């Protein structure tokens, strides 16, 4: 294929893929199979790699992500991002309608819409291209999350059709559909991480991730509901949304025009029930005046428009008695109060337990033993206690006190400044923490010793055979054979006995032996260091290459690694200083567990960068900084974190800090672009 043909093919594929994205993610009417789609996308990705100069600014390969945002830039909204007046009361909706009638005094048309329960976003388009995505923030300024938003496949990067203003902003809600939310939480649990409480939190957390390739995996979605601009080409909100749909935006199908208050209440009633069938969360409906001229007449209060109101659905609620409270200690030592309740039917299931979150929540609710309380099942998976029915409070009731010592090991609990949770600091001797850490160590994403799953760790622990992960490597056939434990079934689960017979023991020993080949990044994750999840472990392992190098790192070297902030660095440093942890690492190493990358990872691709040192700064299209740094090392070069007279090159990306540039200029360090860098390693 020559250059001209490549350009044509890139153009053709970009158009086709954008069209199929629209068909699949916006209209839910795919025209090709997933396989065919993936083939086209792969072809475009490799053509763009070969001919980066032909990549279109709105290329659909942006949806794949890869760009990193170290810190989200604050952007002032061109139009303040207001919220809506919220109400749970039918009377307020009546008052809203009456007030508007009085003020406008003519026939008014309303538009009723779903109120999506997600994260508000403002998307700016210039000449049909997405140029910026900003969160609400405080309404005046928000975070620039463009790189992450570009990965959402239902958001058009380039508009289709005609008639859109040269520049406009469209606002909407980024949501995580139930199916993606469940998959994400399952994955989190498998990795031994805390699951998200609800899809809204998950969507919000996803938008704040630094690696957009990770955001792309979350499968976020986005509904648009409000067009903003100085001269919109339509007289009504309804028409503007219909046009937006034609330009490629995902606009809900459930938008209706209403003439009377009865129509409005019909819509509310319908969705109060029908929402349970939707594949995503809504928390109410929004009622808006349709005509832009009338909207203008009505104007805004200080906080919200007078032409719209949000009616929120009441979460399903029940009242029952608080019987007792368990204080559960998790893997990282966090103590969570969980209430045991007199069983009550709520939203189709029997609820026996509800979370009380933390000491602050208990204090704010002023819950006491024996209280009758209200439980609510909103978007959360675990029901929560929302209030106490004071009229039913027994006399002389005793306040519910948060323990001052760990309910499992008796250590005094501690609380970090600015955090709501109390935790047990005795991480090396507190039983649930030890068991939790062992469970984490063997999990699939860590050492992957699945022959030790399903309660077997507990048996080993109860029999005093393992205390630290390194003890696993001391196990042998004689120690394991014949161990057993009976488990009582709960709910649908039957009673069962787990017994270690020949085959079980052989499998366990094989699994432990195989774990010695698990690469260093997963070993680092397996250690269960606070805030060092799978991604962080990967970044650290790639950057330092071995535990010894990581151990020698200065705090500033740690925070120089992408995604590593002060909190993670602090947690790592204090973990690595603790004697039991030093011993753990040494013992694991002694048993042959990988404490460094070996083999393949050390092979140099060339030595074309030998003797050169690089500072990589800013954001690069299509490749993360860590990938570039890895390439530098693979070709014999060295990465340094700050510009000095000895630095050979400053590899400058978009948004590079002005100080770095100034320093490079003063010291005469040559600045190069990514293309120039690639030329240096061409062999
Ligand atoms: S219209 C000027 N329409 O709910 C106000 N908002 O509590 C424009 N929301 O701030 C907002 N669904 O984040 C509008 N169909 C919808 C919505 C919606 C969800 C969010 C939005 C808003 C908040 C109000």
Cα(435)–Cα(333) distance, rounded to whole angstroms?
11
Pocket test residue of 115, 137, 139, 306 for ligand 1, highest count of atoms within 8 A of CB? 115
Contact 134, 148 (CB under 8 A): no
Q: Which two tokens stand for residue 155?
A: 């958001």
For atom 23 of ligand 1, the residue with the nearest CA is 83
Digit-coded pLDDT (tens) for 88-100: 999 999 999 999 9
Give tens-digit pLDDT for 190-234: 666 678 888 999 999 999 998 898 899 999 999 999 998 777 889
Tens of pLDDT, residue by residue over 57-102, are: 889 999 988 888 878 888 999 999 988 989 999 999 999 999 999 9
Report, as an integer, the average pLDDT of 541-546. 90
Convert the pLDDT of each residue in 1-50 to its tens digit.
889 999 999 999 999 999 999 999 998 889 988 889 989 999 999 999 89
Q: Which residues pair with 176 in a beta bridge?
A: none
Measure Cα distances from 269 to 90, 303, 376, 377 in Å: 11, 27, 20, 19
Cα atoms in the 13 Å half-sphere on the side-chain side of 15: 8
Query: Does ligand 1 lie within 6 Å of residue 228's CB atom?
Result: no
The ranges assigned to domains in the chain are 3-64, 74-312, 317-392, 431-517, 520-590, 613-681
Write down the CATH number for the domain with range 520-590: 1.10.150.20
3-state secondary structure of 67: coil
- String of DSSP letters for 216-232: HHH--EEEEEEEE-SS-
Which atom from ligand 1 is nearest to the alpha carbon of 285? Answer: 15
Q: Report how far residue 630's alpha carbon sits from residue 544's, in angstroms, rounded to the nearest whole number.
A: 11
Q: How far apart are CA 580 and CA 462, in angstroms?
A: 21
Question: Which pLDDT band, with edges at 50, 70 and 90, does 601 fall under?
Answer: very low
pLDDT of residue 396: 87
Helices of type H across 208-279: 212-218, 237-247, 261-274
613-681: CATH topology is: Rossmann fold (3.40.50)
Given 115, 219, 437, 629, the catalytic residue: 115
Task: Give pLDDT, residue 550.
Answer: 95
pLDDT category at 574 given cuts 50, 70, 90 is very high
Q: Would the CA dihedral through 26, 30, 34, 39 be positive or negative?
A: negative
Phi-psi label, residue 618: left if phi above 0, alpha if psi -120 to 50, beta otherwise: left
Query: Ligand 1 centre and the CA of 383: distance in Å?
Result: 26
Regarding the beta carbon of 84 and ligand 1, being less than 6 Å apart is answered yes
**Domain spanning 431-517: which superfamily?**
5' to 3' exonuclease, C-terminal subdomain (1.10.150.20)
Annotated active-site residue 115? The verdict is yes
317-392 has which fold?
OB fold (Dihydrolipoamide Acetyltransferase, E2P) (2.40.50)
Three-class secondary structure of residue 565 per DSSP: coil
What's the CA-to-centroid distance between 257 and ligand 1, angstroms?
17
Q: Which comes out higher in pLDDT, residue 645 or 425?
A: 425
CATH 3.30.470.30, domain 74-312, yes or no: yes
Does the 3-64 domain belong in CATH 1.10.1030.10?
Answer: no
- pLDDT level of residue 277 (50, 70, 90 thresholds): confident
The whole-model pTM stands at: 0.63
pLDDT of residue 476: 96
The answer to whether the CB of 225 is under 6 A from ligand 1 is: yes
Helix (H, G, I), strand (E, B) or coil at 414: strand
Domain 3-64 and domain 613-681, same fold? Reply is no
Copy the structure tokens of residue 259.
Answer: 């003439």
Q: What is d(CA 463, CA 456) in angstroms, rounded to the nearest whole number?
A: 11
What does the DSSP 8-state code read for residue 591? T
CA distances to 153, 320, 408 from 359, rounded to whole Å, are 41, 21, 18
Residue count of the chain, please give it.
683
Nearest to 527 by CA among 455, 588, 453, 466: 588
pLDDT digits (tens, 9 = 90+) for 481-506: 999 888 777 666 677 788 899 999 99
């Amino acid at each position: 294929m020559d250059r001209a043909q490549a350009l044509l093919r890139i153009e053709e594929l970009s158009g086709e893929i954008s069209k199929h994205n629209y068909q699949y993610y916006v209209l839910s009417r795919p025209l090709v199979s997933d396989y065919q789609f993936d083939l086209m996308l792969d072809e475009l990705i490799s053509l763009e790699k070969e001919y980066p100069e032909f990549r279109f600014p709105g290329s659909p390969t942006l949806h794949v992500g890869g760009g990193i945002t170290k810190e989200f830039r604050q952007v002032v909204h061109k139009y303040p991002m207001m919220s809506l007046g919220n109400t749970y009361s039918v009377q307020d909706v009546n008052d809203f309608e009456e007030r508007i009638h009085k003020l406008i005094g003519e026939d008014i048309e309303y538009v009723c819409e779903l109120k999506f329960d997600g994260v508000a976003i403002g998307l700016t388009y210039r000449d049909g291209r997405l140029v910026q995505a900003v969160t609400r923030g405080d309404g005046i300024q928000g975070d620039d999350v463009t790189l992450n938003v570009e990965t959402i496949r239902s958001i058009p990067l380039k508009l289709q059709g005609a008639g859109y203003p040269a520049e406009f902003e469209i606002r909407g809600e980024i949501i995580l559909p139930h199916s993606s939310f469940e998959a994400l939480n399952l994955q989190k649990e498998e990795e031994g991480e805390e699951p998200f409480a609800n899809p809204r939190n998950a969507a919000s957390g996803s938008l704040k991730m630094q690696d957009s390739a990770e955001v792309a995996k979350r499968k976020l979605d986005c509904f648009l509901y409000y067009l903003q601009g100085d001269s919109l080409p339509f007289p009504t909100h309804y028409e503007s949304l219909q046009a937006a749909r034609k330009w490629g935006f995902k606009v809900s199908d459930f938008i209706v025009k209403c003439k009377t208050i009865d129509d409005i209440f019909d819509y509310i009633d319908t969705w109060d029930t029908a929402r349970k069938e939707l594949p995503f969360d809504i928390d109410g409906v929004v009622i808006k005046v349709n005509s832009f001229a009338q909207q203008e007449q009505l104007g805004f209060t200080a906080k919200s428009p007078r032409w719209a109101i949000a009616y929120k659905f009441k979460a399903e609620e029940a009242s029952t008695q608080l019987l007792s409270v368990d204080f559960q200690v998790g893997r990282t030592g966090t103590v969570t109060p969980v209430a045991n309740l007199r069983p009550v039917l709520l939203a189709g299931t029997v609820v026996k337990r509800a979370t009380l979150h933390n000491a602050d929540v208990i204090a704010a609710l002023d819950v006491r033993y024996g209280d009758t309380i209200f439980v609510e099942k909103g978007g959360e998976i675990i029901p929560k206690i929302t209030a106490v029915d004071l009229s039913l409070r027994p006399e002389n009731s005793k306040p519910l006190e948060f323990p001052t010592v760990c309910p499992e090991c008796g250590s005094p609990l501690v609380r970090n400044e600015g955090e709501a949770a109390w935790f047990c600091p005795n991480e090396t001797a507190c039983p649930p923490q030890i068991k939790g850490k062992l469970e984490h160590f063997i999990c699939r994403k860590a050492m992957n010793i699945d022959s030790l799953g399903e309660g077997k760790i507990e048996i080993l622990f109860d029999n005093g055979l393992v205390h630290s992960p390194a003890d696993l490597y001391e196990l042998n056939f004689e120690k394991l054979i014949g161990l057993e434990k009976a488990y009582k079934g709960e709910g649908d689960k039957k009673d069962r006995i787990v017994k270690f017979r020949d085959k079980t023991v052989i499998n366990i020993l094989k699994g432990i032996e195989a774990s010695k080949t698990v690469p260093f990044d997963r070993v680092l994750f397996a250690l269960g260091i606070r805030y060092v999840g799978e991604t962080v472990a990967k970044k650290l392992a790639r950057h330092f290459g071995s535990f010894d190098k990581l151990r020698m790192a200065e705090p500033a070297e740690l925070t120089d690694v992408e995604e590593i902030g002060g909190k993670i660095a602090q947690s790592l440093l204090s973990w690595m200083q603790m004697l039991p942890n030093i011993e753990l690492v040494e013992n694991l190493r002694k048993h042959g567990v990988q404490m460094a990358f070996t083999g393949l990872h050390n092979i140099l691709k060339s030595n074309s960068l030998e003797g050169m040192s690089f500072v990589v700064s800013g954001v690069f299209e299509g490749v993360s900084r860590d990938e570039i740094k890895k390439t530098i090392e693979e070709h014999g070069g060295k990465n340094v974190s700050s510009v000095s007279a000895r630095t050979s090159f400053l590899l400058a990306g978009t948004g590079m800090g002005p100080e770095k540039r100034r320093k490079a200029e003063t010291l005469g360090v040559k600045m190069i672009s990514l293309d120039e860098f690639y030329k240096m390693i061409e062999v």
